[in-house]
Each structure stands twice: as structure tokens, then as C-alpha cells.
Amino acid sequence: MFFMQCPFCKQDNDKVINSRPSSDGLNVKRRRECLNCKRRYTTYERIEETPLKVVKKDGRRVPFDRNKIRAGIEKACEKRPVPTEAIDNAVSEIERDIYNKFDREVNSKYLGELVMQKLKTLDHVAYVRFASVYKEFKDISEFMEEVKPLMAPGKKENATGKRR
């Protein structure tokens, strides 16, 4: 059996009087009574999460940060007719995808490709902007190879419904 250390007398002999989920539903709130000094106190229990790491090209591992994904997408969509709600949805879908597929680490290449897929459905110009930075094109021919499929017949409309 596990006992908490009493914040008053520092003994580790207590009992749980009441237990319920906290208002946010992410913690369990426990009301405890010290069996030594008879004083009561509250503790919060939370599931320990293993943070997801992103493995960069150079092998470094950094914590996954959805704000970085959002910032990249927002930068690509700057001055484009992409609704904020669409960006929110894209970020949430990307985050959900990687947490469903990976437990501890995700490769930055996979993450970048996923962002590009989402941008391609949101706005072709935003997609090309992101791809030009992400893929580090060496010359204009590499850039044109990426743009060609977007210029094919039947690709005249992007996800925002605007004609080009």
C-alpha cells in the first residue's frame, strides 16, 4: 500500500477519505487524513506522460511542440485566404496522427511530410511556400518539379475554393 507524506507532521501514514476526478478531468483529487496527527489535506494524482520527441536530421531529439507546427503552417499561409479554423484543424489532425502512430519518437521527415500533405489540401501557394523551405531546393528545376503536379489540368482550384 502507498502512503503520502503528511505535509504537517511529515509521517507517511494516511488514508484516503474521498477520491474524485478534478474539474478538468485530467487529475484525480484525493482528500486524505493523516493517521498520526489526524489533519486532512488534498493531493492530486496525474497520469505520467512520456513526452514525444522529434528526431531531427542531425540526430538531436527535441520535445514535440504543436506550437512549432502551428507557427510553420501559419507562416506558410500568411496573406492567404486560409481560415484560422482550417489551420486549427490541420494542427490537431497532425498531432492526433503522430500520437496515434508513435509512442516515444517521431522522425522530423515524417512530420514535415505530414505538414506538407495538410498544406496541399489547404492552399497550394502555402504548400509551395512550405515545401520550398522544408525541401531546401538546390535550384529552380527542383522547385519546378514540386510545382508541376499542382499546375496539371483539373488542379485550377485550391481547397479554399478560389480559382487561380
Q: Which three cell numbers stand for residue 14?
A: 494516511
CA distance 60 to 72: 20
Least confidently predicted of 24-28, 62-66, 84-88, 150-154: 150-154
To the question of pTM greater than 0.75 for the whole model, the response is: no
CA distance 97 to 91: 10
Q: For residue 159, what pLDDT is reported?
A: 47
Q: For residue 50, what pLDDT is reported?
A: 76
CA distance 142 to 139: 6
Tell the residue number behind the cell numbers 505530414, with chain if given.
114
Confidence of residue 160 (pLDDT cuts 50, 70, 90): very low
CA distance 104 to 49: 10
- CA torsion through residues 22, 25, 26, 32, sign: positive
Highest mean pLDDT among 45-54, 59-68, 145-154: 59-68
Mean local confidence (pLDDT), 70-91: 95
- CA torsion through residues 63, 92, 72, 112, sign: positive
